[in-house]
Structure 1
Amino acid sequence: MLPDGRSGEPLLVLALEILSQYETLSASDKSLSSALRKANEKHFLESITDN
């Protein structure tokens, strides 16, 4: 939670930047187990955005 009177925008921008970098690194992973891991990560991230 953010303190009263503070904007969460810098935190949102930082979170989006981190997710963007993570997505880039994840997309470049070509290992055999990456497909299952990517499916699990997608489900996890979608559950976060749904809540």
Structure 2
Amino acid sequence: METLTTCYCLILSYLQTNKKELLKTISKKIKNIIEESNERYKSKRFVGLK
């Protein structure tokens, strides 16, 4: 249990120092996911229309 807490503290401190980078990465990933789902939605819609 103690090692888990230590690990958690390390992760928290890491996140504090790299918060900006982390946010950039997360927003990029979210953007990619949204774009991918939009592409899939469009292709499904067009397949349905044909």
TM-score when normalising by structure 2: 0.49
Query: More relative contact order in 1 or in 2 (CA 8 Å, sep 6+)?
Result: 1
User: Is the helix fraction higher in 1 or 2?
Assistant: 2
TM-score when normalising by structure 1: 0.49
